[in-house]
Amino acid sequence: MTERGEFSHTEILSQPEAWADALDVVEKSRDGLKNIFDATYDQVVFTGCGSTHYLSLAAAALFQEMTGKIARAVPGGELLLNSEAAIGWNSNPAHKTLLVAISRSGSTTETVRAVEAFKQQQRGPVLTITNYGQEPLAGLADVPLVIEKGQEESVAQTRSFAAMYLAAAAMTMLAAGNETLRGEMRKLPAVGEKLLKKYDALARETGENLSFDRFYFLGGGARYGLACEGNLKMKEMTLSHSEPFYFLEFRHGPMSMVTRSAVVVGLLSEKNSGHERTLLDEMQAMGGTILSLGEAEARVTFESGIPESARNVLYLPVLQLMAYYRSMAKGLNPDRPNNLTAVVKLDL
């Protein structure tokens, strides 16, 4: 019989191995991916549900930034039920879309049904990212990326999310023709190991402090989707008040919630760090506790030497650990969050 939280803790700490597997999977699928990326398409749509919708937000922003192609993220349910409003397919049926569908289980109903409808309408090629190759989603793909070492026993996604995000990022570098960045990503597992060890105590100290009653996760660009995921881990694993925002949007109302019991988590960028640090300083002056993460000059410093667009996965491990420790401190079971199941299956 396993102890409470054992799966989550093991999965968080072991994720660098899954990161390496994700990079290997993309490399092995290189030729098939190149054939798709070299073809003509008008837009890229990333889709998923829950955590993988947030992964889609991060991946779409990175893909658009790196390739110049129009890319957007749409929840699987919206893609299925409101596709015209979500991406306007019917406005010009001749337009080709590249669909990237992401699901840890590979059997999430909304995502699978949305991909089936997409293929029936012959909208364009399909790439899938999943951890379970025997499930329906992988079978629907022109090229499936299956990261088996990301598989999990826990309901809340940690190792799986990070590994699938890294696969999406490596795939993006391939689409952009940037082999240098793809090579730099090989350094990430070793850096991830160091971060997990170096900042375990900080994650524990922050997570176990039950005087904190609200958490705000701030990011921009590709980091906004990762801020959303940090928020979701805190919400589902710890049943705490948690919300994500774009950095500068936080001044437009949400900062009224900052008190001495608030933690404001900032995923710092290089380009906009001046603006981002100014906002965090303002929130600290209002009494909030600041947890900043970035390559340098932050409470959690990566010191990776890896270019920014290739290292975004490094924001995840410490935030996952923080949620794990808070869940344990509250007497909850992070492996089995309240009211949740690992896979959502619907009668559609």
For the segment 16-27, the average pLDDT, to the nearest whole number, is 98
CB 232 within 8 A of CB 155: no
CB-CB contact of 48 with 79 (8 Å): no
Cβ(219)–Cβ(191) below 8 Å: no
> Over 60: is that where the pLDDT of 344 sits?
no
Q: Which of 185, 206, 221 is the endpoint of a domain? A: 185
Using alpha carbons, select from 324, 164, 161, 291 the residue that is nearest to residue 217. 291
What is the dihedral sign for C-alpha 337, 341, 344, 346?
negative
244 within some domain: yes
Phi and psi angles of residue 232, each rounded to the nearest 5 degrees, phi first: -65, -40
One domain, residues 36 and 72:
yes
Whether 130 and 11 map to the same domain: the answer is: yes
Instruction: Give the confidence band of 340 by pLDDT, cuts at 50, 70, 90.
Output: low
How far apart, in whole angstroms, are the C-alpha atoms of residue 153 and residue 4? 12
Per-residue pLDDT averaged across 300-308, rounded?
A: 98
Greater confidence (341 vs 280) lies with 280
**Cα end-to-end span (Å), the chain:** 36
Q: Residue 186 is encoded by which pair of tokens?
A: 């090989």
Q: Express each pLDDT in 123-138 by its tens digit.
A: 899 999 999 999 999 9
Q: Is residue 337 part of a domain?
A: no
- 158 in a structural domain: yes
Based on the fold, state whether residues 175 and 276 are members of the same structural domain.
no
CA distance 33 to 141: 11
Instruction: Return the closest-CA partner of residue 202 out of 129, 270, 298.
Output: 298
For residues 43 and 129, membership in a common domain is answered with yes
- Predicted pLDDT of residue 91: 56
CATH of the domain at 155: 3.40.50.10490
Q: Is 136 helix (H, G, I), strand (E, B) or coil?
A: helix
Last residue of a domain, one of 185, 202, 217: 185
Please report which confidence band the pLDDT of residue 2 belongs to, taking 50, 70 and 90 as the band edges.
Answer: confident
74 vs 58, 78, 87, 214, 249, CA distance in Å? 12, 7, 8, 28, 21
Cα separation, 40 vs 181, whole angstroms: 24
pLDDT, tens digit (0-9, with 9 covering 90-100), for 200-257: 999 999 999 999 999 999 999 999 999 999 999 999 999 999 999 999 999 999 999 9
Q: Are residues 174 and 201 in the same domain?
A: no
pLDDT at 146: 98
Q: How far apart are CA 290 and CA 297, in angstroms?
A: 13
Q: Is the pLDDT of residue 346 over 60?
A: no
Model confidence pLDDT, tens digit, residues 140-190 = 999 999 999 999 999 899 999 999 999 999 999 999 999 999 999 999 999
Do residues 222 and 134 both lie within one domain? Answer: no
Which has the minimum average pLDDT: 86-90, 192-196, 272-276?
Answer: 86-90
Q: What is the model's pLDDT at position 24? A: 98
Average pLDDT (81-103) is: 80
170 and 241 fall within a common domain:
no
pLDDT in tens, 31-53: 999 999 998 888 999 999 999 99
Say if 161 falls within a structural domain.
yes
Range of the domain at 218: 189-329
For residue 342, tell me if it sits in a domain.
Answer: no
- Backbone phi and psi for residue 231, each to the nearest 5 degrees, phi listed first: -60, -45
The phi and psi torsions of 217 (rounded to 5 degrees) equal -115, 120
β-strand 143-146 against 214-219: which pairing, if any? unpaired
Please report the pLDDT score of residue 152 as a whole number: 96
Report the candidate in 77, 59, 51 with the shortest Cα–Cα distance to residue 309: 59
- With H, G, I as helix, E, B as strand and everything else as coil, classify residue 66: helix
Same-domain check for residues 71 and 145: yes
Contact by Cβ (8 Å): 84, 117: no
What pLDDT does 40 receive? 86
Q: Are residues 47 and 130 in the same domain?
A: yes
| 164 and 224 part of one domain | no
Return the pLDDT at 337: 78
Same domain, 122 and 180: yes
Q: What percentage of the chain carries pLDDT values higher than 90?
A: 87
Counted domains in the chain: 2
Mean residue pLDDT across the chain: 94
Phi-psi region of 173 (alpha: psi -120 to 50; beta: other; left: phi over 0): alpha
Residues whose CB falls within 8 Å of the CB of residue 285, separated by 6 or more in sequence, listed in order: none
In a domain, 1, yes or no: no
For residues 205 and 137, the answer to whether their CB atoms sit within 8 Å is no
Q: Is 24 a domain residue?
A: yes
pLDDT of residue 44: 95
Residue 340 domain flag: no
What's the pTM value of the predicted model, to 2 decimals?
0.95
User: Is residue 160 domain-shared with residue 29, that is, in the same domain?
Assistant: yes
Per-residue tokens: 63: 């893909």
Q: Which residues are paired to 263 by β-bridges?
A: 215, 289
Residue type at 138 in one-letter notation: A
Check: CB of residue 104 under 8 Å from CB of residue 157: yes
Q: What is the pLDDT of residue 342?
A: 56
Per cent of the chain over pLDDT 70 is 95
